[in-house]
Amino acid sequence: MTAEDRRRIADGLAAGLTYAEIARWLGRSRSTVTREIARNGGPHGYRAARAQHATSWRARRRKHAPHAGVPRGTDDREVRTAREFEEQFVAMMIETGMAPMTARVFAALFVSESGSLTAAELVQHLRVSPATISNATRWLEQRELVTREREARRLRYVVDVDVWYRTWAASARSMALWAATTRHGAGIFGTDTPTGDRLHTTSQFFELLGHDMSQAAEHWRQALSTQRRRSGPAG
């Protein structure tokens, strides 16, 4: 990615172009453009000169900085591969709606060898302030994507495979709340009115969606439990 490419990305974002349109304009893949924007401030904070400077700085630091997701002693090629995947993971989450820094924190935790990092390790890995880490992890905790553990005088943030079950189940509960509220509204306005009919249709949608989500979450919980029993130590 050249300085001119970055200037054109910034121009494209300012003009309201989509990532796919910018990629076609540059003759690059959309994933390349998405990663470039994600690692340099996101769609609202991207600046060409700053991105160019940050990329040069990261290249210098990359030679010496260990990667949180790779055990010590791993060769440089594997470290680079791990970093590239982490950046792809971040770009995907940003493209699907997560804030850039929150995505970076979650990706760092998720691809780390143990699935957990201390606040200090996140600061070192992402090279941001403790306050930035605190804000991102607070958002993740509120949505049950990570949990925290007290480790002596340090905080450790943890993500595990059950995270998807918890977040999916939480989404199902949200659907149930939407269904109940709109059903109540339909009763107030009457289903023979435009407002009541709209609320009734909405309640039906969320009832069906919530039911299907609850079933899917339970199916996954049972499948994961079976998988764990089969992979456990022999009796």
φ and ψ at 39, to 5 degrees?
-85, -5
Q: Distance from CA of residue 74 to its chain's centroid?
A: 26
What pLDDT was estimated at residue 233?
A: 47
Is CATH 1.10.10.10 the right assignment for the domain spanning 91-160?
Answer: yes
Q: Distance from CA of residue 15 to its chain's centroid?
A: 26
pLDDT tens series, the chain, 235 aa: 788 999 999 999 999 898 889 999 999 888 788 878 877 777 777 888 887 877 776 565 444 445 555 555 555 666 677 788 888 899 999 988 899 999 999 999 998 887 889 999 999 999 899 999 999 999 999 988 998 888 777 888 988 767 888 788 888 889 999 999 999 999 999 999 999 999 999 999 999 999 998 888 888 878 777 766 665 444 4
Concatenate the DSSP letters of all residues of 174-212 into one string: HHHHHHHHHHHHHHHH-TTSHHHHHHHHHHHHHHHHHHH
What pLDDT was estimated at residue 146?
A: 92
What pLDDT was estimated at residue 53?
A: 76
SS3 label, residue 76: helix
What pLDDT was estimated at residue 185?
A: 97
What pLDDT was estimated at residue 31?
A: 79
